[in-house]
Amino acid sequence: MDRIQTKQWYETVFAAIMFILIMLVAGIADAKMVDKNPVLDKSVMATLGKCQKISLSCAATMKDAPGILVFPSVVKADLIIGGAGGKGALIENGRITGYYSIGAASAGLQVGIEDKSQVYVFRTPESLDQLKGGSDWKASASAGVTLIATDENASSATGSVLAYVFDAKGLNAGISLDLFDVWKTGQVRPSQQ
């Protein structure tokens, strides 16, 4: 090989190696952004399907939604002072893009344990950006969240985020969303900072 061909060969090999390294680094960075949780992923997708079966409006609003936040199990326990919490995932374009935690504190004369699923359908890119852009998001009317109690009330809902709360019996309106904090899993809960 003459000197020019040798130089071109080295440049081609160097470019190929750099391309492979860049792709590996990009793949590792992408994988670190969302540490997969197969058990939670399966539960999230099952909960999403259940919401679509329980509520026709849930199925309809999901079709064009920029994002859907799904908490398969939010357990609420009360004995005078209580709280609620759970883990979930954000779905964008049909795939899980991040994991989130939900929590609430309560006080009052209450006794009992409840376990419900919660699905938040983000109807606008701006509402989804509010969730993704901050470390703390409140599931409340001030964040544009509308609780859907029945399919009939979904047709008149005006919020930028629709909340479906349900259990084995169907949609449930007997829960207040004003107390719920939502934050990215792995971060410190904002109220504890």
* pLDDT number for residue 124: 93
Residue 25 above 60 pLDDT?
no
Mean pLDDT of the chain: 76
Residue 58 above 70 pLDDT?
yes
- pLDDT 10s digits, 90-100: 999 999 999 99
183 exposure class (CB count in 10 Å sphere: 0-12, 13-18, 19+): buried
Neighbours of 23 (CB within 10 A): 10
Between 58 and 154, name the one with better pLDDT.
58
Residue with tokens 């908490």: 71
* pLDDT number for residue 145: 86
DSSP 150-185: SHHHHHT---SEEEEEEETTEE------TTEEEEET
- pLDDT 10s digits, 129-178: 999 987 678 877 667 788 887 666 666 677 899 988 888 667 765 555 55
pTM above 0.85, yes or no: no
Record the tokens describing residue 102, joined without a space: 């939900």
Q: Please, what is the Cα angle at 41 between 37 and 44, to 5 degrees? A: 140
Q: What backbone phi and psi angles, to 5 degrees, belong to 107?
A: -140, 150
Residue 59's nearest CA partner among 158, 138, 148 is 148
* pLDDT number for residue 192: 53
- pLDDT 10s digits, 109-122: 556 677 889 999 99
Per-residue pLDDT, averaged over 166-193, amounts to: 69
Residue 62 above 50 pLDDT?
yes
Between 74 and 177, name the one with better pLDDT.
74
* pLDDT number for residue 19: 36
Tell me how far CA of residue 13 lies from CA of 26, 139, 146, in angstroms: 20, 53, 57
